[in-house]
């Protein structure tokens, strides 16, 4: 397809979606809720059709030589489909994110002001192999009154097509138009570019996936975007740390699920507690299977313990490993720890272990991130853990939403000003 | 200068500003307030230096052939400097936008969550001739804890330099580092590009000025931006309108200050009230000096009244005149009015004149704009009018902030999670 043809395809899908979104705006909270439950039921009722389509993606993926990690992300089975359906049911019972009054006042001239939450309108999602995102994103967007333009991976093409088909069949039995969910063809890379440049047609694009995907979206998009994901998170063990708390926090932050963005990549230890903490930390990390990249001080400790470790390189400090590898460094002060974090971190989640409220406050004020954990694992930066009920991603930027994004973050606002003929003098 | 040199200049200024911003984070609300009052005093005390520098810009502008409107925007005199100073004093007494708790909860595992407001960090402003923006933006950013990277117009170079110098001299006597205000050289167009691409160094860029400037910023920026300004606003006179309210609202919306973004450009009249309203509206607009672009129905009315008017052209409907010109059209229904608005408008401010609450609600739900006026002039979409105290611009986008932006909109949030050793199971 030519550039222009893809622009036209995406513009048409966006126009159809925007018009259909009027049925979403008109639908009551109860009607949106019922639509989500209908989608959940339909997914389970059609599990065989879904698994069949997914098998064809899996076969294509195997012949294309996808690695086992990617194949695992692509795979749908009965349990996973039930999981996706139960996710939709959880979103259905969340509080209504629309029509909430955020600010309200009556001016001296009698004008009555209300700032209320409203949908964005048409929201694009650009994502990679996992087909569950197709449903997760669609239901969060529907519940927040938005039409969804979904651009998944070509490797999940058949799975995404059947999931969208099943969701649309379910919507056809509700007052909400099935056209509020649109799948953008993934057979041409250029359709992503077209989506990112559908300015005026698409209100927001959210990328979900690798750092490379997110950087591409941010660089190329003229549509407003919310950057998600990249997490080079740190655990800082302060001079005033309770080291008995520090060890389980460290191990949980690194090892509980190393592939996700809120896993820790670097341990920073204050020099005053380093002699006591480094040996137990290095032993425990090694025992948990973590490959160690150490600064000179911690390398000496590892060598004394006869634990394999390499000297950390400059690029290690800013690497999101996603696997069981970790950097270890000793810092001379809390401010030195913060300076390190600001230099190499991604403003995602930073943890401090300290018994000093003053040191905690200083760390909070300076570390400039979406979430600061004081004496807790970095793994808690998560929509479900934090009580959002569901998340469409974790915002890594400061504009609009920071940290986990749920239904509320998928709304914008309108000012409603009611008068009886007021004019400006 | 080469591209790389400009990138380096801007990166250095941003680094200096970010480090200096720590003094802003540490400063108490009272200290920030006093710094703003010191700036206001210093501006008035140094009015002669400021006027002198401004005179040199004015002279250069005259020899360069700037038109009288641009020269007027550029001009500073004693009254305008007092106005700028009193603006700073108004911002100084606004409520503290920082450290406010937006959400708070304790989870079952004992974790205590708070979402608090924090500064963005380093905010860039790109703007045109008016030197007052240099101070207006700096004081709003300082009060909200942000360092300011200011990129004004080269035509206001001397004025901007002296204003920044005076503000920095005032800050030198406070605990806040003068380096939190940085002026980006305006002698090279490429410094704007460098600012827009200082990703990771600059947290946010706000453009203020012409539609062309804003479009350029949105297209070129990899730093997150908030689009401001463009306003093609409509006044819709509904079938259920009180026509005695409609006329003053129409005249005020168009004529009170036609150069600003919340002025109306198009009048839409429901066909049922058109026979009665069009003659009085056309007479009144003509009487107020408004040049008329009419659809066929309203053109017939104008011709019968012997009032000069031209047939409206397709491009007129989407033109932000900024002067006393207006389009007039008759629509068959409220939905037809909304369709017109969505096609040609800029999602800024839309007014409906109606006595029907149902029609008002339908218009509110469908018109997809930052502010809906029900029986009031479009001119009320304004930070001061709406009780914000001061505004740094009017957001024309849906992300982060919509409508007037004051101190609160110049903050982002951090999640603070306090525990006593919690890990994720």
A and B: number of Cβ contacts within 8 A: 189
Does a structural domain hold residue A304? yes
The total number of structural domains in chain A stands at: 2
Q: Are residues B324 and B219 in the same domain?
A: no
Does a structural domain hold residue B425? no
Min distance B402 CA to chain A CA atoms (Å): 6
The answer for A 107-126 residues in CB contact with B (under 8 A) is 107, 111, 113, 115, 120-121
Does a structural domain hold residue A242? yes
3-state secondary structure of A86: helix
CA separation for the pair B341, B347 (Å, rounded): 8
Instruction: Look at B380 and A224 and tell me if their CB atoms are within 8 Å.
Output: no
Average pLDDT over every residue of B19-28: 94
Burial of A162-180, coded b for 16+ CB within 10 Å and e otherwise, reads bbbbbbbebbeebebbbbb
Q: Are residues B315 and B187 in the same domain?
A: no
Q: Are residues B154 and B255 in the same domain?
A: no
CA separation for the pair A136, B71 (Å, rounded): 55
| pLDDT category of residue B385 using cuts at 50, 70 and 90 | confident
Under a CB-based contact definition with an 8 Å cutoff, are residues B217 and B330 in contact? Answer: no
Chain B residue whose CA is closest to A383: B415
Mean pLDDT of chain B: 95
In terms of residue numbers, what domain contains B246? 233-385
CA separation for the pair A212, A208 (Å, rounded): 10
Q: Examine the predicted complex and report whether its ipTM is higher than 0.90.
A: yes
Interface check for B177 against chain A (CB to CB < 8 A): the answer is no
Chain A environment of B422 (Cβ under 8 Å):
375-377, 380
Does a structural domain hold residue A87? yes
CA separation for the pair A30, A24 (Å, rounded): 12
Chain B environment of A402 (Cβ under 8 Å):
412-415
Angle (CA) B240-A418-B94 rounded to 5° is 165
Under a CB-based contact definition with an 8 Å cutoff, are residues B356 and B334 in contact? Answer: no
Among B345, B393, B316, smallest CA distance to B141 is for B393
Chain B environment of A256 (Cβ under 8 Å):
423-424
Angle (CA) B88-B91-B92 rounded to 5° is 85
CA separation for the pair B131, B156 (Å, rounded): 6
Average pLDDT over every residue of A398-420: 95
Under a CB-based contact definition with an 8 Å cutoff, are residues A370 and A395 in contact? Answer: yes
The residue to which tokens 């190499």 are assigned: A344
Q: Are residues A302 and A257 in the same domain?
A: yes
Does a structural domain hold residue B392? no
pLDDT at A384: 84
pLDDT at B294 over 90: yes
Mean pLDDT of chain A: 95
Q: Are residues B38 and B14 in the same domain?
A: yes
Q: Kindly report the CATH number assigned to the domain that includes residue A319.
A: 3.40.309.10
The answer for A 190-229 residues in CB contact with B (under 8 A) is 199, 203-204, 218-219, 222, 224, 226
Q: Kindly report the CATH number assigned to the domain that includes residue B8.
A: 3.40.605.10
Average pLDDT over every residue of A165-188: 97
CA separation for the pair B177, B24 (Å, rounded): 8
Q: Are residues B332 and B262 in the same domain?
A: yes
Q: What is the DSSP string of A219-254?
A: HH--S-B--B----EEEEE-TT--HHHHHHHHHHHH
Q: Tens digits of per-residue pLDDT, A39-85?
A: 999 999 999 999 999 999 999 999 999 998 889 989 999 999 999 99
pLDDT at A144: 97
Q: Are residues A289 and A326 in the same domain?
A: yes
Instruction: Look at B418 and A386 and tell me if their CB atoms are within 8 Å.
Output: no
Does a structural domain hold residue A396? no
Q: Are residues A215 and A360 in the same domain?
A: no
pLDDT at B230 over 90: no
CA separation for the pair B212, B221 (Å, rounded): 14
Does a structural domain hold residue A394? no
Q: Are residues B194 and B254 in the same domain?
A: no
Beta bridge partners of A232: none
Q: Tens digits of per-residue pLDDT, A210-242?
A: 888 888 898 889 899 998 878 899 999 999 999
Does a structural domain hold residue B394? no
Instruction: Look at A256 and B224 and tell me if their CB atoms are within 8 Å.
Output: no
Interface check for A413 against chain B (CB to CB < 8 A): the answer is yes
- pTM for the full predicted model: 0.91
pLDDT at B35: 98
- Residue A267 burial (C-beta neighbours within 10 Å; 0-12, 13-18, 19+): buried
Q: Are residues B242 and B171 in the same domain?
A: no
pLDDT at A396: 87
The answer for B 270-289 residues in CB contact with A (under 8 A) is none
Under a CB-based contact definition with an 8 Å cutoff, are residues B239 and B272 in contact? Answer: yes
Q: Are residues B212 and B237 in the same domain?
A: no
Under a CB-based contact definition with an 8 Å cutoff, are residues A297 and A236 in contact? Answer: no
Chain B residue whose CA is closest to A422: B376
Q: Tens digits of per-residue pLDDT, B105-146?
A: 999 999 999 999 999 999 999 998 789 999 999 999 999 999
Q: Are residues A204 and A148 in the same domain?
A: yes
Under a CB-based contact definition with an 8 Å cutoff, are residues B347 and A82 in contact? Answer: no
């Amino acid at each position: 397809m030519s550039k222009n043809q893809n622009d036209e395809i995406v513009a048409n899908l966006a126009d159809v979606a925007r018009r259909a979104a009027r049925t979403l705006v008109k639908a009551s909270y109860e009607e949106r809720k019922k639509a989500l439950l209908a989608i959940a039921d339909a997914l389970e009722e059609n599990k065989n059709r879904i698994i069949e389509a997914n098998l064809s993606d899996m076969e294509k993926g195997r012949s294309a030589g996808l690695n086992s990690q990617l194949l695992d992300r692509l795979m749908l089975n009965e349990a996973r489909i039930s999981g996706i359906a139960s996710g939709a049911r959880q979103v259905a019972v969340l509080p209504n994110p629309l029509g909430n009054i955020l600010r309200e006042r009556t001016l001296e001239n009698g004008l009555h002001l209300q700032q209320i939450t409203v949908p964005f309108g048409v929201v694009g999602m650009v994502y990679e192999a996992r087909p569950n995102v197709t449903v997760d994103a669609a239901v969060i967007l529907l519940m927040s009154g938005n039409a969804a333009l979904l651009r998944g991976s070509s490797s999940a093409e058949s799975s995404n097509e059947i999931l969208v088909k099943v969701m649309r069949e379910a919507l056809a039995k509700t007052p909400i138009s099935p056209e509020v969910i649109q799948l953008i063809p993934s057979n041409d890379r250029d359709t992503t570019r077209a989506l990112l440049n559908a300015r005026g047609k698409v209100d927001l694009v959210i990328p979900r996936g690798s750092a490379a995907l997110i950087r591409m979206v941010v660089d190329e998009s003229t549509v407003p975007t919310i950057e998600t994901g990249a997490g080079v998170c740190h655990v800082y063990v302060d001079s005033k740390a309770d080291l008995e708390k520090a060890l389980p926090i460290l191990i949980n932050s690194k090892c509980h699920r190393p592939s996700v963005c809120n896993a820790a990549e670097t341990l920073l230890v204050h020099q005053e507690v380093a002699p006591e903490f480094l040996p137990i930390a290095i032993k425990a990390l090694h025992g948990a299977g973590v490959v160690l990249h150490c600064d000179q001080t911690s390398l000496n400790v590892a060598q004394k313990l006869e634990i394999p470790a390499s000297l950390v390189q400059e690029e290690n400090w800013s690497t999101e490993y996603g696997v069981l590898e970790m950097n270890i460094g000793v810092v001379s002060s809390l401010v030195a720890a913060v300076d390190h974090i600001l230099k190499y971190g991604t403003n995602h989640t930073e943890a401090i272990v300290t018994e000093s409220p003053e040191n905690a406050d200083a760390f909070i004020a300076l570390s400039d991130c979406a979430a600061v954990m004081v004496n807790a694992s970095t793994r808690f930066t998560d929509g479900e853990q934090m009580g959002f009920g569901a998340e469409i991603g974790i915002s890594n930027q400061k504009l609009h939403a920071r940290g986990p994004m749920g239904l509320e973050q998928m709304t914008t606002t309108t000012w409603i000003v009611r008068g009886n003929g007021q004019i400006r003098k």
